[in-house]
Structure formats: C-alpha cells, structure tokens
A and B are shown apart, each in its own frame.
Chain A
Amino acid sequence: MNNYFVFDSLNIIFLAVLILVTTGVVIYQGKRNWKYNLMFFLFFISMVGAILSNHLGLTWVFVEATTLTSAYLIYQNKTEYSLEATWKYVFLCSIGISLAFVGIILLLIGSNVVNSLFYNNLYANATIIEPFWLKLSYAFILVGFGTKVGLAPVHFWLPDAHAEAPSPISAMLSATLLNSAFIVILRYTRLMDLAGLFNYARILLLTMGFLSVFITAVYVFKIGNYKRMLAYSSIENMGIIAIGIASGGVGVFAAIFHLIAHSLIKSSFFLTAGNILHIFKTKEVLKVQGLIETDPKTGWLWACCGLFILGAPPSPIFFSKFLIIKQLFIDKHLVLAGLFLFLITVVAYGILRVVVKMSFSPKITNKRIKMSIRNYLPQISLLLLVLVLGFYIPNWLYHLIEEAIKCI
C-alpha cells in the first residue's frame, strides 16, 4: 500500500524553502481581505500538495490547482495589463499542463505491466517500461511542466504574470511556484536515469536550459520595466538549474544549491521591487533614480539583491555557477562551458547596469514615503540567511542535499 504523500530528502528541501519564503511574504504583505487570504492559503496548500505528492497523477492535479488558485491573486490590480497577464497565465499554463497529462498517458501505454503512477513503483519497474513511450512521455512532461517552470521556449506567460502581479505574489510565483513544478521534472528525470535513458533527458534539459539563458540574455537589454527584468532573471535561473541537473556529477549538487539560493534572493528582490513601486509609483526603470538617497534601506536592499542574484561572491549563486562550469569542464564540454560563461556574463551586465543606475544615480524626487519595518524585515532576514550560506554550509544541510541528489 503506497502513501499518496511522502517526505523525502528532496521534497523536504523544497518544503523548507516554501515555508521560509511564504513566512517572509506573509509578514511583508500584512492584513488583506478574506478572499485574498483564502486564495493565498489555497495557493500555498496546492504547492505543498505538489511538493509532497508521491503519485504522478496527483502531482498533476496539485500543479494545475496552483494555476487556478494563483490566478485570482495575479489579477489583484484589476487593470487591463493584469487581466491580459492573468489570461495568458491561466490559458498557457492549463494548455501546458494538459500536455503533461498526455505525457502521463503515454507513460501508461509504455508501462503495460506496472499499472501504477506511484513514483516508487515506477522507479522499481523503470527497466521494463518501453523506451519509445518513455522518451515520448518525457518530452511531453518536460514541455508541460516546463511551461509552469518557465523554461524557454514555453515561458511566455512568466514575464507578464510576474510583472503584473502584486509584488508579494510575484515573490511567491518566482521563489516557490516554479520550484513546485520543477520537482516533477526532477523526479521524472530520475525515472529516465533508472531506465537507462539519462542521455536523452540530458539533451532535452540542456536544450531548454541554454535556450532559457539565451532568451534572457537577448531580452535583458530591451526591458524598461524592472519587475519584468526580475521575471526574465527567473527564466535564466531556472535554465541554469536545468543545465546543472543535465550536467550530472557535482552539477546536480550545484543545481539544488542554486535553487535554494535563487528562491531566497529572488523573493527578497521582488519584495524590494514592491517598496520601489510604493515609493515611485512606476515600474519604469528610467523613472526610478537615486534609490539609495530616496530610501537608503530599500536602495541598499535593491543593490544587494542585484549583486547576490548575479552571483557576486560570497553569494551562494557564485559557487553554484562555478560548480556547474567546473562539471562542464570535467565532462570536456568546453563549448558549452564557454557558451554558459558568455551568456551569464551578458545577463549579469544587463541586470547590473539597471540595478546600479536605479540605486546610485542622483535622486530626482524629494518625496519621502514612510514604510513600516515589515517592508524591510523579510528581505533583510532572507538575505542574511543567503549570506550565511555563502560563507558556510552547515553539515546537516550538506548531507540533506547529498541525500536529495540520490532522489534525482
């Protein structure tokens, strides 16, 4: 008898990140109306369900539920822009998730004898699943759940939804929702590995990973909206995690470490973007100047988040990117390593340019808007945690990540 929900080393990490980020967001957003609170709670519960689920079909149900519960939250501002973003989000994600369901059915066709979608049963019988159907199924699963993760070329909903949602919700989308869908891809990649088809999975993951980083590198110079810039950064980071998983070896450790760090930093980044929006009443990069002079705490938080997300030492992201490049070199993928280095440098330059300009340019307004301590505390706490991780990984966390790698 299988349990529909289980705890293991992999999902415990995802759950811990989810709880940490949600706590920060709840503190930041303060009191809201009951409808908002209800939908936020359902959104949280559906992510918990997706992370803890031990059954592929049930995971699908929860991942689709995250789309439906968060749609209301994205449409909070009730503008034409937020309406367009919400439509694209619900429609594209539902289509993507439907394709993932096709992938599940194709898996059932290939697993004549198994007749179960519990991960442990699938893993135990991986070798008797017909490779043709498993490969086809993986492609559908990757495109389907990849839509939700925001991997290129099926990322189109992500910049719009992240930019138009209220900032606390953008933080939740970027730091927790994408992870909840990524865990399915990780578990399915393990099935591919056990079936002896890791090379096939690796090619697809590398393709989507590099495409995601490439898309960000192309668009990062065109973006005039700072929340949209953060959204593209999420696409880049999901791509980096996919590349890490595909690299294998120490790259997998780096990918998990990167996922933790990205969630903590990006949630702080989006919450700080909420402060900027509150002060300047605009999302245009050109209209935000002298942030540090206008509000020093927000300004420094913005600059620190920018440096940390790009991987400036001692950010944990520096180490994860370094380890991924190292693994690519070890495997003698010199071209890929070079391309990876080039693309992340381009993205880093594009984002740093905007962050520096917004933070350190002379101020253009004398307005002073008083903000509560709860508008700073979550970001400061999360960044301090990131800083600690940059200098020191506790033994228990190191072992937990190592155990988690065994689940991939």
Chain B
Amino acid sequence: MAQINMLRVQGLLLCLITLTYHQEQELMMLLFLLLETFMVKTLLVPAFLNKVALKNNIKIDSDPRFPHFYTLAISSFILLGGLLVSNIHSEHLKNVSTLYFGIAISTIIISFFFITTKKKLITHVIGFAMLENGIFLLSFSVAKEMPMIVSVGVLLDVFIAIFALGLLIGQFENHYHNPEVCHLCNLKDCDCDE
C-alpha cells in the first residue's frame, strides 16, 4: 500500500532529522532516538502493517469518502498553512524550531483529516501512526528531553497500540471479510443481546 510506504519515508526522514539536529545529544539518548526512528518507525511499524494488509487481503482504499486528489491538495494547503503560521509567529516561539514546529502541527492536522476521510480501518491505523510521527517531530522541535524511562514508555505504548489495532483488524476480517468503518455502527443506543 502506498500509505505504508509513506510511513516508511516519514520514519526515515525522522531518523535523518535525529542525526542532523541532535548533535549535542547524550550518546544513550541519541542511540535510543535512532533506534526509535529507524528500527520502529521506519522498519517495524510499516512491516507489521504491511503484513496485516497482506494477511487480510487489504488493498488501497479504493472508495474513500474523499477522492485522493482532493486529499493531496488539502494536505498540501494544510502543510503550507502550518509553515506560514509558524513563521509569522516565530517571535513567540522561543527555543522552538519554527520549521519543525510548522511541519509537526501540519502533520497532526493532516493525520486527523486522513482518519476522518478514509473508509478502511487499516488506513485509520496508518493515520494514527502518522499522528504519532507528527507528535514526535513536535517534541523534537522543543528540544527538551524527556527522561529515558518516559521515552521508552511512550515508544512501547505507541507500538503496542498499533500492534493491538493491527490484531483487531484481523478479528474484523474474520467477522466481516472487509474491515471498514461501516462496521463500527452496530452499537447504538438500541436493544441488543450479548
């Protein structure tokens, strides 16, 4: 799936940013960030999602609520808007990298746009992974370190969340043979038995 390749590219870019930006980083922290961006964000998460897609015979989101071209155009406008806003207000953003801040905020908004306009559940998980990449870049733009215990915890939580959602997609496939958002409308405030 093209969206999974996009996640790989995002992961690789984050890895390169880590290498170039954090030159004064503690060695342990630098190694951890490289492990997080390269091993987890570039290799593990996309490989896992790819496996989920292949196993459940999921192909491209062929019938999104929004045509792909419009998605691309709107995402570009959001990115442009994010960069403009962060540059205009750069004097308020002390000790913050305005470039990364703008891209991070745009990525977070685009991920929400992605989640709300796509039909397949796997695309929602990809949107979630994209949101996490945006948040990673946002924390990077602040250039303040979390303690190692917190960073490890955050990484584990995010990875397990994606892993759990991937497993649930497999369960949806067993029940419905086509995991889409329309299968999330059965529970309403009506009568139902266990």
Contact = CB atoms under 8 A, between A and B. Distances in A.
Interface in A65-96: 65, 67-68, 71, 75, 77-81, 83-88, 90-91, 94-95
Given A57-B154, A68-B160, A88 B184 contact: yes
A163 B138 CA distance: 37
B184 A108 contact: no
Interface in B27-73: none
Given A64-B161, A65-B157, A91-B124, A85 B187 contact: yes
B94 A68 contact: no
B88 interface: no
Contact of B192 (A83, A132, A283): A283
Contacts of B175: 80, 83
B142 A105 contact: yes
Contact of A159 (B142, B164, B189): B189
A60 B154 contact: yes
B178 interface: no
Contacts, number: 129
Contact of A87 (B95, B121, B146, B192): B121
B149 interface: yes
Contacts of A60: 150, 154
Given A80-B186, A224-B190, A98 B154 contact: no
Nearest to B151: A57
Interface stretch (A109-117, A356-364, A396-404): A109-117
A155 interface: no
A36 interface: no
Contact of A67 (B94, B161, B189): B161
B189 A222 contact: yes
A219 interface: yes
Contacts of A329: none
A117 B146 CA distance: 8
Contacts of B190: 224-225
Contacts of A148: none
A277 B149 contact: no
Contacts of B193: 281-284
A236 interface: no
A391 B88 CA distance: 61
Contact of B144 (A94, A95, A115): A115
Interface residues of B, number: 45
Q: Is the interface of A mostly helix, strand, loop or mixed?
A: helix
A139 interface: no
Contacts of B186: 80-81, 84
A225 B184 contact: no
B194 interface: yes
With a 10 A CB-CB cut-off, give which of A108, A282, A285 has the most chain B CB atoms: A108
Given A57-B154, A64-B158, A286-B191, 19 more contacts: A57-B147, A57-B150, A61-B154, A65-B153, A68-B157, A79-B194, A84-B184, A84-B186, A88-B184, A95-B131, A98-B128, A102-B135, A132-B92, A163-B187, A219-B189, A223-B189, A228-B189, A283-B194, A284-B192
| Closest 9 A/B residue pairs (Cβ) | A61-B153, A57-B150, A224-B191, A64-B157, A94-B161, A160-B187, A284-B191, A222-B189, A108-B144
Interface of B: 92-96, 108, 115, 121, 124, 128, 131-132, 135, 138-139, 142, 144, 146-147, 149-150, 153-154, 156-158, 160-161, 164-165, 168, 171-172, 175-176, 183-184, 186-187, 189-194
26 contacts: A57-B146, A57-B153, A58-B149, A62-B153, A65-B153, A68-B160, A68-B164, A75-B168, A80-B175, A81-B187, A84-B187, A87-B168, A90-B165, A98-B128, A102-B108, A102-B135, A108-B144, A115-B144, A117-B146, A117-B150, A163-B187, A224-B191, A281-B194, A282-B193, A284-B192, A286-B191
